[in-house]
Structure 1
């Protein structure tokens, strides 16, 4: 037997060498058609040439005199070698265009090549075969097919896949279904029916891996086929609809200033649709972003729900937006098999906010008001007099009084000169007061006689002002308080004290006046005693205190 295998190998090697120089259509290694099988289970592999690369089947090729040759390359090796079809119990055999393994072993892993040739024609293709191991719960590195069921869509079924051709139709195999590692028996909404597994009402809780184990006899031997697939419950076609745009929203305004970054998300919900292509894109003034001169970038992300409904988001970004960019039309588009929708983003240039200017203006206004209040508080009298002098009316007209101020002074030449020249000139000529000067305007009768004329005129007026010297406080004006008896609540009056020197009785005089008239106030001017009386007129009066 060993000698025969050696001869066959040499013969096959000679064939390969003799045709090495001949033209052969080599389709290469088709990794997309990788075949995975479980260890110790039967496997049948059809030559891909007749399924995907050639227009005729095996029978036609055989009738045309073409021969199908199998060879393989072991894992981690480069040397092609013939397949040994003379193993015990025919573990590896070929039937027409099918290569059989009964069963597979781990060292069967490698790249298998089927070549169809004659003396003038050659075509071949290679494909990988991987033998994998599984545990007691059917876990393995095998890539599992996915079968999708619609959510709450009535009775739906799945079948045990890839078992056709392993046994004749007259053999009834034993089939057991598992969900994960659990045997399916008395499940609420899942019912095994031979080769099929029925889902009465598919729910999300039915998601998982389902395995069918098929046992059948052949030539006195028992073989087992294990087929695992993933069941995925997806959205029902009854709930399918066109895309729904979450963002941009009509209620959201993207206000930006030139130079800021503009970010606009296009967020769209897609319900599950079988074989539907979900698309989302932006247009700027009717053009795709890549067709514009704007420095814009678009990033897309996808969020899948359990039922494979998905939310796609395309984030449009402009790092430094210009005033011209803020005037453009940004539109989000979405499309699936149910329809197409679009929505424009509301982009505006942010209105200028004069926060600093308003704050400064308000602060300046408050400061100005405070300054004006302080100025008025300090210089209110000067302001009143200035207003009266230039804009006001004469308050003495029709006010019922003949005099505004009563003046008393010490009976000496110096004070008499000051009162008659300086004081009278300032108060009458400069400020417009009507002065009643003792001895000049009062009635004759002496200092102890109470004058009736001037006092009655003061009492009839709205107020009374009194100017006196230090001597007059004690002597020459004793009669005046008598005129206020019985009229204290009717008069508001002021005292003006003018002194030629330091008065030791000033406080006493003021106190006595305040006792008589609680609502009075005191104005005092002080003339330096060193000045000559002749210079008093040119000096005027200087205000030194106000109480």
Structure 2
């Protein structure tokens, strides 16, 4: 038996060498048809030539005298070698254009080549076969097909895939369904039905890996097929709609100054649509950004929901925007199988801010107010007198008084000199008061020639000023009780006490004046000021 296999190998090698110089259409290694099978399970592989590369089928090629030859290259090897079809129990066999493994082993992994040829024609293609191991929960490195179900879309089914051709139709295999490691039994909305698995109402909680295990007999042997697929619940077509633009919107204004960075997001929501292409793009004055002379960049990001609804964002960025850029028209566009929408961004140039000018104006105003307050506190008396002199009314017209102040003083040289020179000069010449000085205005040669006594002049004055140096109640002030007695209820003036020199009994003098006014003037003198 071993000798026969060596002879066949040499014969096959001779055929390959004899035709090495002949032309052969080599389609190379078809990595798109990488086949993965589980260890210790049957596998059937059809030659891809008749499915994708040639226009005729195996029967037509066989009738035309073409022969199908199989060979393979082991994993991590470069040498092509024939496939041994004389293994015990026919573990590897060929039936027309199908290569069978009953079952597969780990060392069957490699690149398999099927070649169709005769003396004048040759065509071949290679494809990879990978034998993988699985654990008790059907976990493996195998790439799983994905089956999508619509969310809350009524009864939907999935089928156990890739089992056709393994057993005749008259054989009823035993089928068990699993979700992950759990056998599906008495699930709320999932019902096994032979080769099919029904979902009464598909929910997001139904997402996961589902495995069907098929057991069938063949020639006194029992084989097992394991098929795992991923179920993904997606948005219902009843909820499908055209794209919805979140940003830009009519309520957001992008105000920028020249030289600042301009960032405008185009944020769009796409509901799930099967085989729909979701597109999003910007136009600037009707042109795509790459077709303009603006230094602009666009970055896109995608947020995918569980139901495969997605939110796409394209961020348009201009590092240093110009005044001309702020006048352009920026429009966000979006499109899917349901329609196309667009929306323009509201871009404006920021109005100038007079921050420095306003701050200077406010500071100047505060400074001016402070200066005016200081001036008022220092020169308030001068301001009042100035107002009286130029804008005020003559109070003597209204109250019938001829004098502003009646001056009373002691009869001695010191006080007479003070009253007639200093006090009169200040009050009359500088402040404009009208003084009634008894010795000047009531004696012969004075201004006042009226025959009345001191009482009439006292009453004709708006105020009383007492000036003396001894702080004693004496001299010309002794007539006051008589004036108060005869003019009760008519007095409406102030009393100002001016003292010269050092007071030795200030409290007694003030007390005497207060008692005098309290006892005699029953009530309209306003105050007594002592200086």
- In the superposition, the TM-score normalised over structure 2's length comes to 0.86
Further displaced range: 198-207 or 357-366: 357-366
Instruction: Tell whether the 8 Å contact from 2:242 to 2:337 is kept in structure 1 after alignment.
Output: yes
**How far did 1:181 drift?**
2.2
Instruction: Tell whether the 8 Å contact from 2:466 to 2:498 is kept in structure 1 after alignment.
Output: no
Relative to structure 1, the CA distance from residue 396 to residue 37 in structure 2 (aligned partners, 3 Å threshold; closer, same or farther) is same
Instruction: Tell whether the 8 Å contact from 2:280 to 2:314 is kept in structure 1 after alignment.
Output: yes
Alpha-carbon deviations, 1:64-106, whole Å to 9, x = none? 3332221111111111111111212221111222111111111
Further displaced range: 325-334 or 354-363: 354-363
Within 1, Cα distance between the matches of 2:31 and 2:330?
Answer: 44
Alpha-carbon deviations, 1:135-164, whole Å to 9, x = none? 222221111111111122222221111111
Q: Secondary structure at the match of 1:251?
A: coil
Alpha-carbon deviations, 1:370-401, whole Å to 9, x = none? 43233223322111222334444544345411
Within 1, Cα distance between the matches of 2:522 and 2:452?
Answer: 32
Alpha-carbon deviations, 1:189-243, whole Å to 9, x = none? 3222222222222222222222222222222222221111111121111111111
Q: Which residue of 2 aligns with 1:524?
A: none
Within 1, Cα distance between the matches of 2:454 and 2:284?
Answer: 95
Q: Secondary structure at the match of 2:60?
A: helix
Within 1, Cα distance between the matches of 2:32 and 2:488?
Answer: 120
Further displaced range: 29-38 or 428-437: 428-437
Q: Secondary structure at the match of 1:380?
A: helix
Relative to structure 1, the CA distance from residue 398 to residue 164 in structure 2 (aligned partners, 3 Å threshold; closer, same or farther) is closer
Within 1, Cα distance between the matches of 2:132 and 2:116?
Answer: 29
Within 2, Cα distance between the matches of 1:49 and 1:175?
Answer: 33
Count of matched residue positions in the alignment of Structure 1 and Structure 2: 525
Instruction: Tell whether the 8 Å contact from 1:464 to 1:491 is kept in structure 2 after alignment.
Output: no
Instruction: Tell whether the 8 Å contact from 1:66 to 1:116 is kept in structure 2 after alignment.
Output: yes
Q: Secondary structure at the match of 1:439?
A: helix
Relative to structure 1, the CA distance from residue 359 to residue 486 in structure 2 (aligned partners, 3 Å threshold; closer, same or farther) is farther
Instruction: Tell whether the 8 Å contact from 2:493 to 2:525 is kept in structure 1 after alignment.
Output: no
Alpha-carbon deviations, 1:15-55, whole Å to 9, x = none? 22223333332222221211000111111111112211222
**How far did 1:473 drift?**
6.3
**How far did 1:450 drift?**
15
Relative to structure 1, the CA distance from residue 478 to residue 373 in structure 2 (aligned partners, 3 Å threshold; closer, same or farther) is farther
Unpaired segments of 5 or more residues in structure 2? 513-518
Further displaced range: 272-281 or 339-348: 339-348
**How far did 1:446 drift?**
15
Within 1, Cα distance between the matches of 2:452 and 2:360?
Answer: 62
Within 1, Cα distance between the matches of 2:204 and 2:448?
Answer: 121
Relative to structure 1, the CA distance from residue 226 to residue 484 in structure 2 (aligned partners, 3 Å threshold; closer, same or farther) is same
Instruction: Tell whether the 8 Å contact from 2:465 to 2:497 is kept in structure 1 after alignment.
Output: no
Relative to structure 1, the CA distance from residue 381 to residue 132 in structure 2 (aligned partners, 3 Å threshold; closer, same or farther) is same
Within 2, Cα distance between the matches of 1:540 and 1:485?
Answer: 13
Alpha-carbon deviations, 1:412-445, whole Å to 9, x = none? 5676556445544443344332222222222689
Within 2, Cα distance between the matches of 1:283 and 1:159?
Answer: 46
Unpaired segments of 5 or more residues in structure 1? 513-533
Within 1, Cα distance between the matches of 2:223 and 2:521?
Answer: 142
**How far did 1:182 drift?**
2.5
